[in-house]
Structure 1
Amino acid sequence: MIQRIQSVFLFLVAASLITLTFFPLWNKVDPAKSEMVKLTVMELTHTKVDIDTHEEQLIAQTPTFYIALVALIAAGIALYSISQYKNRLLQMKLGALNSLVMAGALGLSVYFIFQGEKMIAPEQQGNYLFGFYLFVSAMLFNTLANRFIRKDEQLVKSADRIR
């Protein structure tokens, strides 16, 4: 089970998605107005910093816990898929399902990024942060795991034909 490379990739999928919950996904700063918009998997916050006292003042806060929920579901699917190493067809189906779930989480993130873009300085671009790239790495690891699962299944089928 652990010696298979796809198990390592599936573990990296789960680790990336769990780590994602601790890092911000995106932010945007407007230095002219001293405002900042920040997206994490739990909330989208719009704050203003007072220039004199450097005190942050919350302007708006939108809950985005849906992103965290969907990401943790995808991590759970990846961990469950590791334990299904004897049933490669089920593992392939779980990998495809996990791709859809992660695409949904990424879609939610992009939706909230577009909402944040409208809050301050629409002519400026925001910054994608480490958390956003963890989504990309998780999807890459899931693709690699699916490829190696498929390769194992083809190897077993070819061995069955030889018998």
Structure 2
Amino acid sequence: MIQRIQTLYLFFSLVVSAGLIFVFHLWNNTEGVKVYATDNYLYLGFFMASALLSLISILSFKNRKSQFIMGRINIILNFILLGIFVYQSLNLSGEINVSEKGIGILLPIFSIVCLALANKAIKKDEDLVKSVDRLR
């Protein structure tokens, strides 16, 4: 069942959480230096935890209930990360020199969308299996 659509969504979430953090910067600081997620261990930890949950969820394709629960936990983790980014960006905007926000702040949103679509597909598969079990 690894060829299901939820695996593709979870893989996209994995790529966003583990790969794109090295490509896109989060913001520019007051000196004009680009700040990446790898510069702060808290951000890196949240992104890597999200990527690890996506990978574990991909590999646990036989247990759809735990896959669904891991997806929900991953969504909550990404919302926490998004909240930290919003808080940080609101603190950055109060400076005399206006900082530039990067597209890296939006990475948790892309991950949340992919995880929500994956959970929808997992629920659809679970409902299909339950309906087939009722017919037996």
For residue 86 of structure 1, give the secondary structure of its aligned residue in structure 2.
coil
**Residues 1:66 and 2:42 are matched in the alignment:** yes
Question: Unaligned stretches of 5+ in structure 2?
Answer: none
1:10 deviates by 0.5
Task: State the 1:65 CA deviation.
Answer: 2.2
Poorly superposed stretches of 4+, deviation over 4 Å: none
1:148 aligned partner: 121
Distance 1:87 1:2 in 2: 12
CA distance in 1 between counterparts of 2:66 and 2:91 reads 37
Out of 61, 66, 70, the position equivalent to 1:94 is 70
Is 1:20 aligned to residue 20 of structure 2? Answer: yes
8 Å contact 1:39–1:113 — kept in the other structure? Answer: no
Partner Cα separation in structure 2 for residue 135 and residue 159 of structure 1: 36
Q: Distance in 2 between matches of 1:128 and 1:19?
A: 19
Q: Is the 8 A contact 2:89 2:101 kept in 1?
A: no
Instruction: Provide the C-alpha distance between the structure 2 equivalents of 1:39 and 1:103, rounded to a whole number of angstroms.
Output: 20
- Name the larger-Rg structure: 1
Give the number of equivalent residue pairs: 135
Q: CA deviation at 1:144?
A: 0.4
Instruction: Give ranges in structure 1 of 5+ residues lacking alignment.
Output: 30-34, 44-63
Give me the CA root mean square deviation: 2.0
Pair 103,10 (structure 1): closer, same or farther in 2 beyond 3 Å: same
| TM-score normalised by the chain length of structure 2 | 0.87
SS of the residue corresponding to residue 119 of structure 2 reads helix
Displacement of 1:27 after TM fit?
3.3
CA-CA distance at 1:149 after TM superposition: 0.3
Higher strand proportion (structure 1 or 2): 1
Shift of 1:26: 2.4
Normalization by structure 1: what TM-score?
Answer: 0.74
